[in-house]
Amino acid sequence: MPWMTMDRMRTEVAIVGAGPAGLLLSHLLAQDGIDSVVVETRSREYVESRIRAGILESSSVELLDSVGLGKRLHDDGDHHRGIYLQWPGERHHLDFVDLVGRGVWVYGQTEVQKDLGRARDAGGQRIVYEVADTAVRDVTDRPHVTFTVDGRPERLDAEVVVGCDGSFGPSRGAVPETVAGTWTRTYPYSWLGVLADVAPSTDELIYAWHPDGFALHSMRSATVSRLYLQVPNETDLAEWPDERIWAELAVRIGPERVPGPITEKSVLPMRSYVMAPMRHGRLFLAGDAAHIVPPTGAKGLNLAISDVALLAPALTALLRENDPRLADAYSDTALRRVWRCTHFSWWMTTMLHRGGAGPDADFEAQLQQSQLRWVVSSQAGATGLAENYAGLPIGY
- Given the rule CB under 6 A, which residues bind ligand PHB? 53-55, 205, 218, 226, 295-298
Q: Which residues pair with 215 in a beta bridge?
A: 208, 229
What are the C-alpha distances in Å from 366 to residues 215, 343, 361, 372, 377? 18, 21, 9, 10, 17
Least distance between ligand PHB and beta carbon 216 (Å): 6
Cα torsion 9, 14, 18, 24: sign: negative
- Shortest Å distance, C-beta 173 to ligand PHB: 28
CB 206 to ligand PHB: min, Å = 10
Question: 80 catalytic, yes or no?
Answer: yes
Q: Which residues does 90 contact at the CB level (< 8 Å), separation at least 6?
A: none
Q: Is 393 labeled as catalytic in the residue annotation?
A: no
Whole-Å CA distances, 20 to 48, 144, 155, 165, 274: 10, 22, 24, 10, 19
Q: Which of 20, 27, 80, 294 is catalytic?
A: 80
What is the closest distance, in whole angstroms, from the C-beta atom of residue 109 to ligand PHB in the complex?
A: 8
At its nearest, how many Å lie between ligand PHB and the CB of residue 124? 32
Q: Which is nearer to ligand PHB, 109 or 171 (CB)?
A: 109
Q: 3-state DSSP call for residue 148?
A: strand
Q: Which is nearer to ligand PHB, 298 or 312 (CB)?
A: 298
Nearest to 55 by CA among 392, 394, 390: 390
Q: Which is nearer to ligand PHB, 224 or 326 (CB)?
A: 224
Residue 174 near residue 81 (C-beta atoms within 8 A): no
CB 338 within 8 A of CB 332: no
Q: Please give the Cα distance from 302 to 109 (Å, whole number).
A: 10
Catalytic residue, chosen from 144, 210, 299, 353, is: 299
By beta-carbon proximity to ligand PHB, the closer residue of 295 and 391 is 295
In the annotation, is 84 catalytic? no
Catalytic residue among 84, 107, 207, 228: 207
Distance separating alpha carbons of residues 392 and 259, to the nearest angstrom: 37
Closest to ligand PHB by CB, 22 vs 200, is 200
Q: How many residues does the chain have?
A: 396
Residue 315 vs 351, nearer CB to ligand PHB: 351
- Cis ω before 277 (30° cut-off from 0): yes
The reply to whether 211 belongs to the active site is no
Question: How many whole angstroms separate alpha carbon 121 and alpha carbon 159?
Answer: 23
How many Cα atoms within 13 Å fall on the side-chain side of residue 207?
Answer: 21
What type of residue sits at position 176?
P
Per annotation, catalytic residue among 143, 295, 330, 353: 295
Report, in Å, the least distance between residue 226 CB and ligand PHB.
4
User: Is 200 one of the catalytic residues?
Assistant: no
Catalytic residue annotation: 80, 207, 295, 299, 389
